[in-house]
Amino acid sequence: MIKYYTPQDMTLWSGRIDDENDFSAFRWHQWVQRMDLNDESLKPFDGKMVFGILGFESDQGIELNKGRYGASAGPFAIRKELSKLPCQFNQNTKIFDCGNVTSKYTSLVEAQNALAEAVKKILSLNLFPILLGGGHEIAFGHYKGLSNYLMDRKKKNLGIVSFDAHFDLRPYDKEKGGTSGTMFRQIADLCQERGDKYNYFVMGIQKHSNTQSLFDTADNLGAHYILAKDIINSDIHKIEQKLEDYIKDLDEIYITICSDVLSTAYAPGVSAPQPLGLDPEKILILLKKVLQSGKVLSFDIAEVSPRFDHDSITANMASILIYAVVTSLANHIFD
């Protein structure tokens, strides 16, 4: 049984109804179904495009990192925006709401372990995981679940593609666990412990948001990174080529988006706002480039903090990025 887990109350999925029978008029709230991951009668799906949404209700990592808490309400806010989306895919595409893991009643370490177990369960059911944060500490539990799943299948070369203003490679106490600023260093240590290659590519880094020590750590770990200003000012095709070079030797890819990579014009509701952040159109181009590889195993978006949002702009932006992932994979259209 997965600890610190609750299935979703589906009354949240509601909205306008244009037609109760014509699928072409459906919105997500009419199509998303409930799934209880602790239901022992669940059987793997047969390989059709099936997505599993899972929330991580936590901002413990943000508080430990001395950031602005509030992202634990992110999964609720994102689901509200997802409910309104049109079903721009065929009826073979299924979407399940797999509930939430919370850190409210336990330590962050235990919550991340529970999240890892939930991710592994979703993958074992042949679902594509879409995780909703919550603080970016979601990344360590998410990656650990992916790694555990792939370890059973003897696949080793898992790579991270991250969109983030921060490296999140800070030092941490191995006894106490990490924060929302340490996950990718924790992942590096996990890879070393398991004899796996550490593959980390992060786009959107802000020089004013990272110490020189963090740049040095990234270099020492062999991380790949592109500054936000270089994405803004460069030919996007050059960035796409760097992505291609990185992903060509990977077996599987985990995509993670920290909402603070975006300009505050598009994402005011985050722990660390970025006035000089990225335009979402650039992110969509690069996101679809990675999806086009056919290697993407899982996706999450983190740091949506309704407490600081304006008119649900940030939650809506997150829902649009998720919409792009689902429709691109379901329809095999990446432009």
- pLDDT for position 195: 94
CATH number at residue 85: 3.40.800.10
pTM over 0.85: yes
Residues flagged as binding site: 136, 164, 166, 168, 258, 260
Q: Which residues are annotated as a binding site for Mn(2+)?
A: 136, 164, 166, 168, 258, 260
Q: Containing domain of residue 309, as a range? A: 5-333
Tally of domains within the chain? 1
Task: Render pLDDT for 130-168 as a digit per residue (tens, 0 to 9).
Answer: 999 999 999 999 999 999 999 988 777 999 999 999 999
Mean pLDDT of the chain: 97
First to last CA, the chain: 41
Q: pLDDT tens digits for 75-133? A: 999 999 999 999 999 999 999 999 999 999 999 999 999 999 999 999 999 999 999 99
Residue 174: CB atoms within 10 A of its CB come to: 9
User: What does the pLDDT look like over 277-328, one tens digit per residue?
Assistant: 999 999 999 999 999 999 999 999 999 999 999 999 999 999 999 999 999 9
- Whether the pLDDT of residue 48 is over 90: the answer is no
